[in-house]
Structures are given as C-alpha cells and as structure tokens.
Chains A and B, each alone.
Chain A
C-alpha cells in the first residue's frame, strides 16, 4: 500500500485529504497519476499534464518516472506560495 496526501487547492477540489491505495503496476509515479486521472473529473482536469501541480514522494520533490515502494507517502499539491 501507499499513502497519498493532497494539499491546498487540490485537497479542496478532490474533497479528500488522505487515502491509501494499492501499489500501482508498474509502480511508478506516472502510473499512479494515470490511475487517478481515470477517476474522471475533477481528477483528470486537475492532474492534466499542462496544469500546474507538483508531486513529492517521502517528503522529496519527485520526478514522474520515480519508482514507488510499499509504504511510500506520495503528496500532490499546487506550486508553493509561502514566505
């Protein structure tokens, strides 16, 4: 299983803060995103390739081809605006 967190605008749009999912096959961030997009709107719109969102794995910004492992924490969020 992996844990998925959503923050800020994405959390509100999806109406969910955290969920657990089975490890996708193949176990990559790209595959996970494909699975989420298959849920239809608003997932497919908000996680569309041209939209501005970021993904982190285990608290590190992640490339899309990153391989996931059991127990990983994946987070989706908009570009950051602190400071």
Chain B
C-alpha cells in the first residue's frame, strides 16, 4: 500500500528510505526524487513561496497516481510526501520514493509519479518576488511530460 502524506513539516529522506526498505527483504532497488524551492523562476528572484492545496482531493489524487504506478510496474512499495504552507529557497517541497525488485521499474515509476503529480494533484504555488506575490503559471512542458506516458511506443515493463 502506498504511503501518502501532505504536511507542513519538513521530511528526512534517510529516515523515510530506512523505514520503507526495512519492511520488505524483496526490495532490490529504490529510486527517489526530491523537489526543492529555487531562488529563481522565470527570470525573477524568489524569496518565499506559499503552497496551497485542496484538502481531500489532494490525498485522493496522490493515492490514485501512486496506485496507478504500482499497477503499471512491478513495485513493492511507494511513498509520496508533499509539503504545504510557507517555504523558502533551499527548502524541500516533495519527496517520492519507489521500491521494486529491479531498478527499471523503480526509475520509471518514480518519474511517472512526479509527471502526474505536476499536472493532476491540486497544489498551487504562490511566489514572493521583488515585484510582489504572484501565482505560478502552469507550464505546457509539464503536460507534455505527462502525456509521454500515454504513448503506446513507450515500454511499460
């Protein structure tokens, strides 16, 4: 069963990986992804960020994305932690951990989860720049990244 957490607190990748791999000796590969707050976006300095979300729908969306990855590849376990609230440059935003018997499944599923999270999970970023606060615009490249997974040319296993 995947673990989904939406929280204001920071996370520790070492602790999370240790807990996840301690559960199952069949795990032979773990892929991880961490997303961070950058101090520059679209040419402007970013001093602060506020992450808003839709409680209830967010957890449901992340759970569905992760379960879909678990159906699509041979995964043993998966975890997604996404932070909300006020963040600043250098802060961690999101953690994805995927465990499988072999590396291919873990690598692909980790990227799949992030690509769908970026386009489907109801989070919104507001950035503080020298010009004031602004909502981050969704990017077409994120839609394209997600749509790659729908191409029949891509190997699924």
Contact flag A80-B35 (CB < 8 Å), given A7-B52, A59-B57, A75-B54: no
Question: Known contacts A7-B52, A75-B57; is A81 also within 8 Å of B124 by CB?
Answer: yes
Give A58-83 interface residues, CB cut-off 8 Å to B: 59-61, 75, 77-83
Q: A8-B52, A77-B122, A81-B124 are in contact. Are A56 and B138 (CB under 8 A)?
A: no
Smallest Cβ-Cβ distance to B120: which chain A residue: A80
Q: Is the interface of B mostly helix, strand, loop or mixed?
A: mixed
How many of chain B's residues have a CB under 8 angstroms from any CB in A? 27
Q: Does A39 contact B (CB under 8 A)?
A: no
B57, A8: Cβ atoms under 8 Å? Answer: no
A77 to B99, CA, bound (A): 33
Interface, chain B (partner A; CB < 8 A): 35, 51-54, 56-57, 60-61, 82, 93-94, 114, 117-126, 135-138
